[in-house]
Chains A and B, each alone.
Chain A
Amino acid sequence: MPRSPIFRIGSGAGYSGDRIDPAQDLAERGELDALVFECLAERTIALAQLRRAADPTQGYDPLLRERMRAVLPACQARGITVLTNMGAANPMAAGHAVLDVAHELALPHLRVAVVEGDDVLAWLRANPHTPLMDSDQTAGDLAQQLISANAYLGADALLPALQQGAEVVIAGRIADPALFLAPLMHHFGWAANDWPQLGQGIVIGHLLECAAQVSGGYIADPGFVDVPDLATVGFPLAEVDADGTAVITKLAGTGGRVDQLSCTAQLLYELEDPARYLQPDVVADFSQVSFESVGPDRVRVRGASGQPRPETLKATLGYRDGFIGEGQISYAGPGARARGELALAVLRARLERLGWSGLEHRLELIGVNAMHGPALGADREPYEVRVRMALRCTTRAQAERAAQEVEALYLNGPAGGGGVVQSVREVVAAASALVPREAVQSRCQMLEM
């Protein structure tokens, strides 16, 4: 089959709770070849694993069905391949859920590939001496608390699904940019050891993986950085050439802006050493990436490169880490800040009486110092403040009691406190470890209607 000179790939979600209508718009009007939904954050799989433990049919992204209902008709009619990590902790159940949706929509047929093999919990339990990254601890130290461990798979795990003609590819933990790299490798026939080419594919994926963050979202600062029609900001797509250069753009008629500024901000987002962006498929080098405006809301990206892929894979471990008890109460009008500070002093004394002052905690005033601490701007006098106390606790009961201490300021604290909110949450924390590639054996299973 002759290869089209341009491959059009869109970004349908930048996180699990992202908007659905811009993705549907892309599916219907984007003339796309592929549409990617990136929906996993660090601890999402651990939380999904808890849902799966409670109900074996769950453990995938809660919005999967709704997203598929919105885009599958257009994707199937137009031959757009859908790739996503919405399988989370249960890709197989997610695959069956997609088939359910296809039945509901009365689609004539659908080939859904389920990619598994990212789960390395058993391997880590068998190798407890594996060190945790940025920590003195090992995986074994978390043994009792450990909920999940998933290695970041690369594009190589997705390619078999594409080679078998999958129309929807559902995976769990996949490196975010690899969801974009895989269809590019498949379409253009890029070799798995063509490191500079893979680096260019990764930069396209990185630019698209946070959806609207490259097309006008999260950049507006009125009077300094203005964004047209932010309320209807469009999700981005890339028009990729066979040589791996691409134009980043968005649909006509949508809000937002795609220009060198928006692209630079997204290129650098969560990037550490720009010359060494570690991915399962390649160590990408973004240090020479450049952007060129080639029309309204059209930016050409080139110049990424790459070095051979890392020997090891990064895994994210989810573990139970106690509870956080939190309470908030507001003070307003004259002397609001002084009353808020008195409330903090009362809470400090209460923690002392309870014998909890040695526990990690925060006592702060929202509107004064809750975001950036005492050094930056905390000398200004606000009209209203909100007291906030958060305490790290070992039990739920302790966390509930801590939150109640803030509520008790109603009758026992300074004058005029209002609007108490309390919360208690179990902490599911994430840690990272490097695992050998042999710990992972990805596999692909095709489901059909």
Chain B
Amino acid sequence: MKIRDIALARSGDKGNRATLSVIARDPAHYPLLERHLSAECVKNHYRGIVHGAVVRYPLPHLGALQFVMHDALGGGVTRSLALDAHGKTLGAAILDLEINPELS
């Protein structure tokens, strides 16, 4: 199963930090997200893009996980050399992550 099968993702920018929201489309699937999407897992998925710490904020009543990814935007939106300086497309990358719902 991929994250895309159960969740939507949206990224945003704050200076040189990217925010990443992963939201279960059906709240019943939230425990899967919480179990499989640790801060370490997200940092590993975005290796080469995110150079700093990743902090996770669980919001179980919303079926959502919020991540703040430090040093992720090439110095910040306003001076980055990147085509997608805002990191708007970053959110979609997490949807491709494979998880095994059987594993706890």
Chain A residues within CB distance 8 Å of chain B: 42-43, 133-134, 218-219, 221, 224-225, 261, 264-265, 267-274, 287-291, 321, 324, 360-362, 364, 366, 370-377, 388, 390-392, 427-430, 432
Contacts and interface: CB of A to CB of B under 8 A. Distances in A.
20 contacts: A133-B15, A134-B16, A224-B4, A265-B10, A267-B62, A268-B59, A268-B66, A269-B19, A271-B12, A271-B19, A274-B59, A290-B61, A370-B83, A371-B83, A372-B89, A375-B48, A390-B82, A391-B81, A392-B81, A427-B78
A271 B96 CA distance: 23
Interface residues of B, number: 38
Given A264-B23, A271-B66, A288-B61, A372 B49 contact: yes
A225 B82 CA distance: 28
Interface string B1-45: 000110010101111110101010100000000000000000001
Contact of A321 (B64, B79, B90, B93): B79
Contacts of A267: 62
Decide if the interface of chain B is mainly helix, strand, loop or mixed. Answer: mixed
B98 interface: no
Interface in B58-104: 59, 61-64, 66, 68, 76-79, 81-84, 89-90, 93, 96
A387 to B, nearest CB: 12
A361 B81 contact: yes
Contacts of B79: 321, 427, 429
A406 B66 CA distance: 40
A408 B76 CA distance: 31
A265 B66 contact: no
A272 B19 contact: yes
Given A133-B15, A360-B81, A375-B48, A225 B8 contact: yes
Given A264-B21, A362-B82, A390-B83, 7 more contacts: A224-B8, A264-B62, A268-B59, A289-B62, A321-B78, A373-B48, A429-B79
Contacts of B82: 362, 390
B10 A218 contact: yes
Contact of A388 (B12, B13, B83): B83
A261 B16 contact: no
A336 B63 CA distance: 43
Given A268-B64, A373-B49, A261 B15 contact: no
Contact of A219 (B4, B10, B47): B10
Contacts of B45: 376
B81 A272 contact: no
Residue in B25, B57, B68, B89 whose Cβ sees the most chain A Cβ within 10 Å: B57
A438 B12 CA distance: 32
Contacts of A133: 15
The 7 closest A-B pairs by CB, nearest first: A270-B12, A268-B21, A429-B79, A390-B81, A429-B78, A373-B48, A430-B78
B72 to A, nearest CB: 11
Contacts of B90: 372
Contacts of B14: 270, 272
Contacts of B4: 221, 224
B41 to A, nearest CB: 14
Contacts of B16: 134
Contacts of B77: 42, 430
A265 B64 CA distance: 9
A388 B83 CA distance: 9
Given A274-B59, A375-B47, A264 B81 contact: no
Contacts of B83: 364, 366, 370-371, 388, 390
A269 B89 contact: no
A82 B81 CA distance: 37
Contacts of B62: 264, 267-268, 289-291
Nearest to B79: A429
Contacts of A321: 78-79
Nearest to B20: A268
Nearest to B59: A274
A366 B89 CA distance: 13
Contacts of A43: 78
